[in-house]
Amino acid sequence: MATAAGLATRSAADTAPLVPVEVKNLHKRFGDLHVLKGISLTANKGDVVALIGGSGSGKSTFLRCINMLEHPTSGSIAIDGEEIRLRKDSSGDLAPVDRRQVRRIRTRLAMVFQSFNLWQHLTLIQNVTEVPVHVLKVPREEARERAEALLHRVGLYEKRDAYPAFLSGGQQQRAAIARALAIQPDVLLFDEPTSALDPELVGEVLAVIRDLAEDGRTMILVTHEMKFAREVASHVVFLHSGQIEEQGPPEAIFGSPNSERLQRFIQSIH
């Protein structure tokens, strides 16, 4: 017979908030190259986690593993408390056991890439409605209304019938953010979203991301914009050679870094 204490414990566990992203001891190898060396990271609801570090430190690979665009060699990944089921494949990496589970989990994750990745043969409004209509089976009229609202939000409503080729890089990246938001994800992943932009266009994209952070959205952001990371992130992770060298709140990471490598990295970007 269950005791009152046991019932209370289970009830508390049932009502505990789900953790949007929890990664444990993640490794990734490309042949002899050991890119990720045991990274663990938790992003709670509303966290904005900035991943910083030099080129080749493993930032983008880590982000791509979360979304299963790269298969890790070992470790575990859980989204909203659901662990992705993985098993060793012939290459020695961990491949998904159930592709349907990955597809379902990807409806909770949305990723914004460096190179926009918009469908060039579709207008902006079509880009933003495509996945909700054809993958999530949202009624077309509802998807269009949602898309129009999102394009309003990123300042592109007037461009809704334009094709990506006729837009600036900053406009294309804002459209890519609107497309990511169209699936109403629990987590947004940004892989250096401003790195392909001319300097004068960076600010317009960062303003949209800042607005999303103020909404309390859970985000993991690979960025080389240190001032932005300092102002917007709730937690900063410094990667070096595939490992977490130091992490903490932005005021500590940028104001009083402990690691000599982090100190040198911060000095190099000023």
Rounded CA gap, 39 and 58, in Å?
10
Closest CA to 116 of 177, 157, 62: 177
Rounded CA gap, 113 and 169, in Å?
12
Rounded CA gap, 206 and 128, in Å?
20
> Full-prediction pTM beyond 0.75?
yes
pLDDT tens, residue by residue, 26-50 = 999 999 999 999 999 999 999 999 9
Rounded CA gap, 159 and 141, in Å?
19
**All domains of the chain in start order, with CATH:** 18-108+222-270 (3.40.50.300)
What was the pLDDT predicted at 167? 95
What would the DSSP string read from start to end of the chain?
A: ---HHHHHHHHHHHHSPPPSEEEEEEEEEETTEEEEEEEEEEE-TT-EEEEE--TTSSHHHHHHHHTTSS--SEEEEEETTEEPPEEE-TTSSEEES-HHHHHHHHTTEEEE-TT----TTS-HHHHHHHHHHHTS---HHHHHHHHHHHHHHTT-GGGTTS-GGGS-HHHHHHHHHHHHHTT--SEEEEESTTTTS-HHHHHHHHHHHHHHHHTT-EEEEE-S-HHHHHHH-SEEEEEETTEEEEEE-HHHHHHS--SHHHHHHHHHT-
What was the pLDDT predicted at 115? 87
Residues of the chain with pLDDT under 70: 1-16, 270
What was the pLDDT predicted at 116? 87
- CA of 54: how far to CAs of 28, 32, 42, 203, 241, in Å? 18, 21, 22, 22, 9
Cα angle, residue 139 at apex, residues 134 and 142 outer, rounded to 5°: 120
Output the six-digit token pair for 202: 């960076």
